[in-house]
Amino acid sequence: MFYKNFFKNNRRPLLISLIFFAVVEAVILLSTSYLKQKDINYYLDIFTNNLETNINMTNAHLSELTQSFYDFKINNPKVDAIMAKAAATQDKHERDRLRKELFRLLNDDYKKMHHYGIRQLHFHLPNSISFLRFHRPNKYGDSLQNVRETIDYVNKRRIPISAFEEGRIFNGFRNVYPIFHDGEFVGTVELSFSFLAMQEFLTKTDHTSYLFLIKQEVVNKKVFTSEKRNYQKSEFDGFDYDKATLSKSMQMRLNKMFSINKAISKQVAQRVAKGESFSIYFHQNDIYNDSPIIISFIAVPNLDSKTVAYILNYQFGDTLKILIKNSHMIFIILSLLLIFISLILFIYFYNDEKRRAKIFQDATHDALTGLYNRHAVNYFFKQKIDESKRYHKPLSIIFCDIDFFKKINDTYGHDIGDYVLKGIAAILQNHLRSSDISARWGGEEFIIFLPETSLEEAVAIAQKLRKIIEASLFSSIETTTCSFGVTQLREDDTSDSLLKRVDELLYRAKENGRNRVEND
């Protein structure tokens, strides 16, 4: 009950404080959320750039290995001569003999370099015909024209090129070199390494987890049907996993990474479709409940700078976890500060409301009896008359005067007189309806407004009040009585005419012996 009355009596201060709290709390929430997301995005952008740099450095390192192998083992007169003879002849048996000779010459070196990540050593004739695949020596003679852009590029421009590209069997980060014999172009040679080589190198240095995605349309367009078993459908629409990169020795288990990919696939679909590099953070309790995960998508472009693959990296975001925690702490601190400010605001408006209420009470209520004073009556007198006439509802008025009040003051003193005034005021407050209005008109006179009350009903109320007052004991006074004048508002009445008539009726009650009710 206390809380109910408290909220009811202090509705305005509470409402202002709550609105202030709600508005500022919303601003704090939106601001901290915006700044948190801005910090997260900034952190993720830096994270993506650093990871791209690390991957590019690894790519550069492995490219240097292929360059070294080319410089020391391939770029020599014996290899050039074999390729020149193969390019000059159309004889199948002669090409088979030359192919075997080239295989014997370089196979041991290829096996050694294979341990360092070089997966493909592939020679091609000038017209882009496959001459010798060291990784598939029995598969040759197929045309790579318009299939392998890097080979077409070197055939046309006669200069080396490095780019990622899908092939008939494997994809790879390819380094293609022109081969010349006595100044004549006689073919090309490709040395490439797979993402698996990069993956092994990267996981040893940063101890994180990597996956490799390649577009399905690229695989379907270029890979031999028999070699498509090397790929596995991923959780991302339009992309396959390179099975060779699905290592079980990484920091994060494969099933966890697959679960994460399934959960984020729709979230990243648009950004993946754009072919951009980016990072997101992921936190789902049923997968990892101890830390958010940062998943980075590093775009892998082809020779035409179009993204055809993605390197995916997974790391536990401990630093990001601290950043998010700090953001939450800032929100909590600001919210607690706001609660404190809102409390001060409530106290201010509560005291202001109490001050205003006291001013209103002093201005509109009689200090002795607590009833409305004459100033308040003058304020709502005309209002009540207008309401009655507008809605065609009756309005009656009672004018009450204490009989022989001067004698009471003279005989018993002003303190007893005040006691009588407060007692009669209490009777009016306790025995009138909540819609009725009672006021001290002045001295020992009281006025009562009875909305929606006919004259007959008003007379009955006056008689009831008269009897209660007569039967009440006021200190040492044996009997106190009151005289009443009662009238009902008429159509042509004004506040002055109504008040004059009820005053005359009260005067008549006194002339006719007091302690009675007179009405018109």
Nearest to 79, CA basis, from 57, 109, 55, 53: 109
Q: Is 81 exposed, middle or buried (0-12, 13-18, 19+ CB in 10 A)?
A: middle
Rounded distance between C-alpha atoms, residue 151 and residue 124, angstroms? 8
Residue 268 corresponds to which tokens in the numbers above?
A: 């990243």
Rounded distance between C-alpha atoms, residue 324 and residue 305, angstroms? 36
Instruction: Quickly list DSSP for 325-358.
Output: HHHHHHHHHHHHHHHHHHHHHHHHHHHHHHHHHH
Q: Is 103 exposed, middle or buried (0-12, 13-18, 19+ CB in 10 A)?
A: middle
Q: How far apart are the first and last CA of the chain?
A: 46
Maximum CA pair distance of the chain? Answer: 152
Nearest to 487, CA basis, from 400, 399, 396: 396
Catalytic residues: 444
Residue 227 corresponds to which tokens in the numbers above?
A: 């070699």
Rounded distance between C-alpha atoms, residue 479 and residue 465, angstroms? 14
CA dihedral 105, 106, 112, 116 (to 10 degrees): 170
Q: Is 367 exposed, middle or buried (0-12, 13-18, 19+ CB in 10 A)?
A: exposed
Beta bridge mates, 175: 162, 191
Q: Is 105 left (phi over 0), alpha (psi -120 to 50) or beta?
A: alpha
For residue 436, the SS3 value is: coil
Rounded distance between C-alpha atoms, residue 272 and residue 279, angstroms? 11
